[in-house]
Amino acid sequence: MARKNRRKLWLKLHLYLGLFAGAIFVIIGLTGSLLAFELPLDEWLNSNLMTVSVKTGHESYQPIDKIVVSGISALPSIGKAISLDFPRHDGLAFALWFEQPSPNASYLERHQIFINPYTAEVTGQRLLIDFERIWRDPFKDFILRLHYSLGLAKAGMNIVGFIGLGLLFSVLTGLILWWPTPGKLRNALTIKKNSSIERLNFDLHKTFGFYSVIVLLFLILSGVYLIFPEYGRRLINVFSPVSQPWPIFLSVIPNHNKEPIRFSQVMAVTDTQCPDGEYRRIDFPQNEQDVYLVHKRELDDPNQKHSYRRLWIDQYSGKIVHVQDRNTQSVGDILVKWLYPLHTGEAFGVTGQVIILISGLVPLSLYVTGVIRWYQKSQRNKPAR
């Protein structure tokens, strides 16, 4: 009797978590599937801005200072440059990020200016992020913000984070309910042949849930970490120290000649320290005490879009103030470094991205079969007339 009562409790918990948190999980899963290939999708949808022609495959880039000057010259009078993204492959443009006040609002929005690396000509610009009005964003960023915040800014991130915790319990209670009694393991792992519609739906729900449980648990846990990284770091720090994600370093302001060094000099300093790897981004100093922040990805870094290796460089002297790379990382840093690329699938290239794309469809299948199962049981339990 006690076992039966416990099972009823797990069923109710699984039901209500599934019905309410599961509906949000469907949105998160479907948007996650789209985001598995977010960069190629963005480039395809905005090819006139982001892609450039490479006729022979042997053209060289224009000097980096010329590219930066070209982008700066296209800034609106109210805009402020914040960073420069480097092309990930030969057919892409540089992207100069800048901020400007959002119209009829009290916050800043972010834009991009695209520059052809072979001609240093501006190919166009776009609004990328309006932090409060998601509908103004391009498709990729609209989907991204729907994925992690439901388009509701900080409040939405908190909602998604707590729903993730609820989903964690939903998956665990589903696993408890699935757990077979001795001798019934094969039935729990397979779909019964020639069964009724009701039994087929039940088998689909339990088998989809079981075979995807490891991936789902990881995606939920890593997603909750990405929503609440400060709490996640504290937890990991109990077992292994974790570096601060964005430590603050300052430039030494000289008494004379307060002219910042050029981008070419920043890259020369970086290449001397780190001759290998690929540039991903350089952040501009935002005031007279700020530093250049260089993101130069190591070739075996699991994260394709961002770089764990970063260098903070004095904007006046060109002196390297701090380096973060594999030589400075702890076990905790390695774990944190792998969480995002595993969550997006990019750690294992196209194969990993395909797995994430398929995994994003699992919440929909579980929700549909779960709702059908709930409806079937509710109809069966109705008193006869």
Query: What is the spatial distance between Cα 270 and Cα 275, in angstroms, rounded to a whole number?
Result: 7
Q: Of 360, 22, 5, 100, whose CA–CA distance to 212 is shortest? A: 360
Tokens representing 17 are 């978590």
CA–CA distance from 76 to each of 48, 80, 287, 305 (Å)?
Answer: 21, 8, 19, 27
Contact 79, 111 (CB under 8 A): yes
Q: Of 83, 73, 59, 8, whose CA–CA distance to 295 is shortest? A: 83
Look at residue 56 and tell me whether its pLDDT is greater than 60.
no
- Exposure of 28 by Cβ count < 10 A (0-12 exposed, 13-18 middle, 19+ buried)? buried
Q: What is the chain's alpha carbon radius of gyration, rounded to the nearest angstrom? A: 25
- 3-class DSSP state for residue 107? coil
Residues 6+ apart with CB under 8 A from 130: 102, 109, 136, 137
Partnered with residue 304 across adjacent β-strands are none
pLDDT, one tens digit per residue, over 244-291 is 888 999 999 998 888 999 999 999 999 999 999 999 999 999 999 999
End-to-end CA distance of the chain: 30
* pLDDT average, residue stretch 325-351: 93
Band (pLDDT 50/70/90 cuts) for residue 177 is confident
* pLDDT average, residue stretch 26-37: 94
Look at residue 322 and tell me whether its pLDDT is greater than 60.
yes
Contact 84, 71 (CB under 8 A): yes
Query: What is the spatial distance between Cα 357 and Cα 274, in angstroms, rounded to a whole number?
Result: 35
For the chain, percent of residues with pLDDT exceeding 70: 97
pLDDT, one tens digit per residue, over 341-375 is 999 999 999 999 999 999 999 999 999 988 888 88
Query: What is the spatial distance between Cα 318 and Cα 260, in angstroms, rounded to a whole number?
Result: 9
HSE (CB half, 13 Å, CA atoms) of 66?
9
* pLDDT average, residue stretch 336-343: 94
Query: What is the spatial distance between Cα 86 and Cα 84, in angstroms, rounded to a whole number?
Result: 6
Contact 74, 81 (CB under 8 A): no
pTM of the model: 0.88
Look at residue 178 and tell me whether its pLDDT is greater than 90.
no
